[in-house]
Amino acid sequence: MQTKQWWKESVVFQIYPRSFNDSNGDGIGDIKGITEKLDYLKELGIDVVWLSPVYDSPNDDNGYDIRHYQQIMDEFGSMEDFDELLEEMHKRDLKLVMDLVVNHTSDEHPWFAESRSSKENSKRDYYIWKEGKNGEEPTNWESSFSGSTWQYDKNTGEYYLHLFSKKQPDLNWENSELREDVYEMMRWWLDKGVDGFRMDVINFISKDQRFPDGEKKPGVKYASGSPYFMNGPRIHEFLHEMNNKVLQYYDVMTVGEMPGVSVEEAKLYTGEDRKELNMVFHFEHMGLGDGPGGKWDNQPWKLTDMKKIMTKWQKGLEQKGWNSLYWNNHDQPRVVSRFGNDKEYREKSAKMLATCLHMMKGTPYIYQGEEIGMTNVAFPSIEDYEDIETLNWYNEQREEFDTDPDKLMQSIYARGRDNARTPVQWDASENAGFTDGTPWLAVNPNYKQINAEQALQDPNSIFYYYQKLIQLRKQEEIVVYGDYELLFEEDEDIFAYTRTLGKETLLVVCNFTDKKVKRDYIPSFVGENKELLIANDEGRSENDDLLSVWLNPYEAFVYKFS
């Protein structure tokens, strides 16, 4: 049985504050900049904002390295600015979900300063310290940001674990005092009135206490340690405890970011009877195009693989648990460049992709700029890039393997995180109206053609198409609660599926190619009461005979039968 919940009926908009809107001309987006744009978000029709970290941070990883959990980063403004943002959001009936980064802190967090000061310090055990093994690191694990996951600390002669950068030491969740401190901090934000948390790599917090080596591939120095920290031995116990001690007392929404999570695991994380989280972000579709060398080894992807993945999650969490739906975020390339066509068919394919995702079952997330069809960027030089993951990988490849720089740049153009982090393109004025100063990361040169001002003036824009999809979710219960069924599993061109609730059926059809294709459609629907809910092609009409359909390039439509 599925329950009805506000967070199942909501659409979430993700803000990456550094790149959203700069109100004071220092080139960095800020909180007042967000407050200025709330009416824009309201116009779009979203219900919830997920705000990437705004906490005090030395910005080794743009705020995902937190120095003080209860302070606002100077560059983003003050706590008064934050309180004002929250108040203005609530006035407009918008909810605010904060990023909760508690797998690690910054190495400049006061806990870590204490922890590294001596082996006897009361906070020593808040982090994960180990002795070296035969003069080397305690395990052969590789950091997500290249190199070892262990950093030697001369002062006490031990290594600390950092799954990400060496300025992001991992917290030790085995320590119950640390857990209580985290819970206390969460209560503090919830008592302030925030409406939930997006939890950063939350399925990494329980480490296998044996700390085994990973299995090494030939010719490389490090191995993946993920079997020993992804979905680790005590993860469900920790999340259940967090729910029991904190979350259950508030009417909030939770979503766990979970690389490497399976459907079976996700049922446990999101099953309502289990009282852990509301939903998770899985990454299976984000792995489409990964080659044997991982994400930087970008390869062509197949629509049948995408359908298999999406369908597995739709069916898997149908009655037990709940899905989140997303095409991109601040770590991923822009969807229209990745799965659509950002040239000739940019508008068409952006709308098609939106249709395909927003008609599925789950809570949709829109990443800033997606609603106007922002694209990937290809800056000429590595000097133009800012992202730590990109830069570390580039330097490692240059130094260790002497890889051709052009080849590296091609990978960065396809998969680098800065694709998503170029400033939001508000208008055609200098720096896309993002800042009066010099932006921290250059704007995408296509801002004169692609920007919010222009989108708001064009009734056929991608923006208004998203608005309509969001409205449909509010009007049609079937969009939220209907069951999903894939059609034409083997089709490499078309992603088509139905949703069913009671006597109603939705038929969703999306052409993922730049070709005209003909399909014979679903004879069983013909003759029933039929309504065209949305389409990205003017040629489509209520009276279309679905027996035999020509689809234009990147065409998408949704019919409702009742």
Residues within the interface to ligand NOJ (CB under 6 A): 61, 64, 101, 164, 200-201, 257, 330-331
- How far apart, in whole angstroms, are the C-alpha atoms of residue 369 and residue 425? 7
Instruction: Find the catalytic residue in 170, 257, 342, 389.
Output: 257
Residue 200 vs 555, nearer CB to ligand NOJ: 200
- How far apart, in whole angstroms, are the C-alpha atoms of residue 348 and residue 258? 31
DSSP per-residue codes, 502-540: TTEEEEEEEE-SSS-EEE---GGGTTS-EEEEEESSTT-
Find the DSSP H helices in 155-245.
176-192, 235-245
3-class SS of residue 197: strand
- How far apart, in whole angstroms, are the C-alpha atoms of residue 493 and residue 496? 10
3-class SS of residue 133: strand
Residue 64 vs 141, nearer CB to ligand NOJ: 64
Q: The tokens 């822009």 sit on which residue?
A: 334
CA distance readout (Å), 98 to 46, 317, 371: 16, 25, 21
Closest approach, Cβ 275 to ligand NOJ, in A, equals 24
Closest approach, Cβ 405 to ligand NOJ, in A, equals 24
Residue 281 vs 561, nearer CB to ligand NOJ: 281
Q: Which residue is nearest to ligand NOJ (CB)?
A: 64
Residue 61 vs 265, nearer CB to ligand NOJ: 61
Residue 101 vs 556, nearer CB to ligand NOJ: 101
Residue 170 vs 555, nearer CB to ligand NOJ: 170
- How far apart, in whole angstroms, are the C-alpha atoms of residue 485 and residue 524? 15
Closest approach, Cβ 164 to ligand NOJ, in A, equals 4
Q: Which two tokens stand for residue 84?
A: 């004002």
**Catalytic site residue 257?**
yes
Q: Which two tokens stand for residue 289?
A: 């195009």
3-class SS of residue 68: strand
Residue 290 vs 305, nearer CB to ligand NOJ: 290
**Going by C-beta distance under 8 Å and a sequence separation of 6 or more, which residues neighbour residue 431?**
423, 438, 439, 443
**Catalytic site residue 544?**
no
Closest approach, Cβ 253 to ligand NOJ, in A, equals 18
Instruction: Find the catalytic residue in 200, 265, 370, 555.
Output: 200
The conformation of residue 384, written as its DSSP 8-state character, comes to G
Closest approach, Cβ 392 to ligand NOJ, in A, equals 11
3-class SS of residue 232: coil
- How far apart, in whole angstroms, are the C-alpha atoms of residue 116 and residue 153? 8
Closest approach, Cβ 475 to ligand NOJ, in A, equals 33
Question: What is the end-to-end Cα distance of the chain in Å, rounded?
Answer: 23
Closest approach, Cβ 203 to ligand NOJ, in A, equals 11
DSSP lists the bridge partners of residue 151 as 160
Residue 58 vs 193, nearer CB to ligand NOJ: 58
Q: Which two tokens stand for residue 366?
A: 């829109």
Q: Which two tokens stand for residue 299?
A: 């390869």
- Give CA angle at 22 (18, 23), nearest 5°: 140
Closest approach, Cβ 201 to ligand NOJ, in A, equals 5
Kindly provide the b/e burial profile for residues 90-102, where b requires at least 16 CB atoms within 10 angstroms of the residue's own CB: eeeebbbbbbbbb
Look at strands 150-153 and 158-161 and give their pairing: antiparallel
Closest approach, Cβ 216 to ligand NOJ, in A, equals 24
- How far apart, in whole angstroms, are the C-alpha atoms of residue 238 and residue 26? 41
Residue 330 vs 540, nearer CB to ligand NOJ: 330
The conformation of residue 124, written as its DSSP 8-state character, comes to G
Find the DSSP H helices in 284-430.
303-316, 335-338, 346-358, 388-401, 405-415, 418-421
Catalytic site positions: 200, 257
